[in-house]
Structure 1
Amino acid sequence: MWAMKKFKMDCYEAAEQRLTGMNELDEFRLKAYESSALYKEKMKKYHDLKIEKREFMVRDLMLLYNSRLCLFPGKFKSKWTGPYLNTQLFPHGAVELEAKEGVRFMVNRQRIKIYFEYAESANEVIEAYYLEKV
């Protein structure tokens, strides 16, 4: 009451000013929400473009990500084990793998990747040069 008397305002004018201030805040909040939603949508499109689609076939050789190796970190230690033979593909991302011993087990498709064998010729030494002390 003292503020209205000091600024010589009518109580209806003060209530109207408060309502317009609250409406402006609501509009600002809605604009911020819309711009945030647009930003998230654009980032999702960009992220989805960068994801490689991995198609697995039966009889492919696979490497399995071993998450337990993260407990004992090593700089040069590989976290991938295998290769395993892909014996069956299930819907919703499940894959059945077979080890060399014949043991079969199911894993999530996100934990595997295709194993590419190295060519034998890449490991051969074509020419050898021996350096002698001068």
Structure 2
Amino acid sequence: MAFWAIKKLTFNMEASGEARKLQLLELDEWRLQAYENAKIYKESMKRWHDHSISKKAFEVGQKVLLFNSRLCLFPSKLKSCWSGLFIIKEIYPHRMVELTHEDGANTFTVNGQRIKTDFEGNFDREKISINQGNPE
């Protein structure tokens, strides 16, 4: 009985070969679709990441502060992660900036994401008093 069932199932080799080819083609379509979905996901993540990067416009001669990442290893309220007052000497492509100290002693190149503009000057500070209790 089992021999007869096996013979009947394998009797039509051409039909089983066509079915196998269709299964392989379907598997190949699934694979291509997975590659396309991964590509779309990577592009959207790159767009989101690039959107979160702040665009900073610097000019030569502008005074900036430099982010010192070594101070952040030991965080403290009294330590500032922003160090020095530097002057932009030259701006290179791909956000590279050449900085010099205020006195013009040393020059070095850093990533533009590690600097921020220094807003020097006198800022008006207002004192605000808060009345506690009834204002009678």
TM-score in same-fold range (> 0.5): yes
TM-score w.r.t. the length of structure 2 is 0.69
1:40 has 2:51 as partner: no
Unaligned runs of 5+ in 1: 130-134
Contact kept? 1:61, 1:86, Cα under 8 Å: yes
- Decide which moves more: 51-60 or 35-44: 35-44
**Which of 96, 110, 113 matches 1:110?**
113
Contact kept? 1:60, 1:114, Cα under 8 Å: yes
Instruction: Write the distance in 2 (CA, Å) between the matches of 1:128 and 1:20.
Output: 80
Q: Where do residues 46-85 of structure 1 align in structure 2 (5 Å cutoff)?
A: 46-70=48-72, 72-76=73-77, 77-85=79-87
Match of 2:70, SS? helix
Distance 1:27 1:64, change over 3 A: same
Please state which structure has a larger fraction of its residues in helix.
1
Unaligned runs of 5+ in 2: 131-136
The number of equivalent residue pairs is: 124
Offset, 1:81: 0.9
Contact kept? 1:94, 1:106, Cα under 8 Å: no
Q: Could you say what the CA RMSD is over the residues aligned between the two structures, in angstroms?
A: 3.0
Q: Percent identity?
A: 37
Distance 1:12 1:110, change over 3 A: same
